Amino acid sequence: MSSKFRALILLTMLFAFVVIVLGAYTRLSDAGLGCPDWPGCYGKLLGVPDTETDIAQANADFDRAVEIGKAWKEMIHRYFAGTLGILIFVISLLLFRKDENGNRHIVFGLVLASLLVFQALLGMWTVTWQLKPIAVMGHLLGGFAIFNLLGWQWLRTLSFSQLESQRLPADLFGLSILAIVILICQIALGGWVSSNYAALACVDFPTCQQKWWPPMDFREAFILWRGLGIDYEFGILEHPARVAIHVTHRIGAVVTAAIILIYALRLWGSSDASSPLRKVSGLVLLLLAIQIILGVLNVVLHLPLANAVLHNAVALLLLFSLVSSTYMIKYART
């Protein structure tokens, strides 16, 4: 594919990364309902109510009082998301056309465009359903999926001729898929922790409330649908349910880290010193170490905003590093 198309993909990936980080920042700074309507903000498509008259009118028209700072956080996120949507739409159209090799990528373009539409709906439902955890978690996963689909398309524009003679263990591809699936499940758990305000249910480490197995309510912790009309801002669960979510995420972190570590070490040992696979396996190990440290710091430092946002960003990069290694293994096998 042309260098211009490759540059467009890379630009769109950058925008997707910014949108995901802004979304995490918006959510973690409790600005997810900074605008109680969608797609505008207190009825305004451009800007937010900022004059005394506009604020008074917005307060009269909506149940939620205007908080200018939170409203701007939400709208800036939406503006970037809207720009990203335009870029993805353009890429989808370009994928319908023949490339320089005479190939069309219609299915990929349709999947990307469909995911974009569904992601926009999830963004709307996140607001109109008042931060319903299943919508918030789904919106997070949708953003990660879009970034990695774009990344897969970007990888297809690159040449990995060094891998053509690379011999790899037959089970390595399956292990890479397992690592990706486990990490996605852990990311979903992280979204469930955040959307249920369970990050500070345990403030000590490695124990929780000075116990290895504190009182927990798993029955209430993982109810995905509780109906509409409930305001989920700051959470509705009792403490034992939040502890159950938090501890489950910790257990998931141990399992996820073990599987990714095994995979990355296998990949490192199976690839040549000059191979891109050796480099990407090193990157996986580095990002895994950083992510573990950030997760621990979230607990012991009581969830500092910058650290929590970075925890989201590194999770995205870790997932893409796994996806990249999977693409390279697939390339080497063909």
Strand, helix or coil at 208?
A: strand
Residue whose token pair is 């990936």: 13
Shared-domain flag, residues 215 and 105? no
Domain end residue (candidates: 158, 192, 210): 158
Domain stops at, among 158, 190, 207:
158
Residue 153 shares a structural domain with residue 50 = yes
257-263 mean pLDDT: 98
Q: What are 301's two structure tokens?
A: 């430092």
What amino acid occupies position 317? L
Residue with tokens 């996820």: 256
- How far apart are the C-alpha atoms of 28 and 194, rounded to whole Å? 8
* Confidence label for 101 from pLDDT (cuts 50, 70 and 90): low
One domain, residues 138 and 173: no
Q: Same domain, yes or no, for 260 and 325?
A: yes
pLDDT in tens, 310-324: 999 999 999 999 999
Could you give the 3-state DSSP secondary structure of residue 201? coil
Told to judge if 100 belongs to the known catalytic residues of this protein, a careful annotator would answer no
| Residue 273: Cβ within 10 Å count | 6
- The token duo for 45 is 């498509």
Query: Do 265 and 190 share a structural domain?
Result: yes
Same domain, 122 and 180: no
Same domain, 24 and 125: yes
- The Cα–Cα gap between 121 and 124 comes to 5
Q: What angle do CA 251, 293, 319 make, to 5 degrees?
A: 70
- Out of 52, 67, 74, 164, pick the active-site residue: 74
pLDDT at residue number 334: 66
User: Residue 99: which region, alpha, beta or left (left: phi > 0; alpha: psi -120 to 50)?
Assistant: beta
What is the predicted pLDDT for the residue at 237?
Answer: 97
Pair (58, 191) in one structural domain: no
What is the model's pLDDT at position 205?
A: 95
Average pLDDT score over the chain:
93
* 118 and 199, same domain (yes or no): no
Q: Are 163 and 328 in contact (CB under 8 A)?
A: yes
The amino acid sitting at 161 is S
Over residues 178-194, the mean pLDDT reads 98
**Statement to judge: residues 266 and 196 lie in one domain:** yes
Looking at the 3D structure of the chain, how many domains does it have?
Answer: 2
pLDDT at 163 (0 to 100): 75
Average pLDDT score over residue span 21-38: 95
* Percentage of the residues of the chain whose pLDDT score is greater than 90: 83
Could you give the dihedral angle defined by the CA atoms of residues 324, 280, 267 and 146, in that order, rounded to the nearest 10 degrees?
Answer: -20
Query: Which residues are paired to 208 by β-bridges?
Result: 211
State the average pLDDT over residues 225-239: 94
The residue segments making up the domain with residue 273 are 165-334
Given 124, 158, 192, which residue is the final one in a domain? 158
| Whole-angstrom distance, CA of residue 141 vs CA of residue 295 | 19
Looking at residue 138, its pLDDT comes to: 97
- Do 144 and 216 lie in one domain? The reply is no
**pLDDT at position 170:** 85
Mean pLDDT of the region 65-94: 95
Judged against a pLDDT cut of 80, whether residue 136 lies above it is answered with: yes
- On whether both 242 and 100 belong to a single domain, the answer is no
Residue listed under structure tokens 């399992």: 255
Residue owning tokens 């919106």: 139
Q: Distance (Å, rounded) from C-alpha 120 to C-alpha 127?
A: 11
pLDDT at 327: 93
Residue with tokens 């403030």: 203
For the chain, percent helix, then strand, then coil, each to nearest 5? Answer: 70, 0, 30
Q: How far apart are the first and last CA of the chain?
A: 19
How many whole angstroms separate alpha carbon 268 and alpha carbon 169?
Answer: 12
Q: Are 217 and 241 in contact (CB under 8 A)?
A: yes
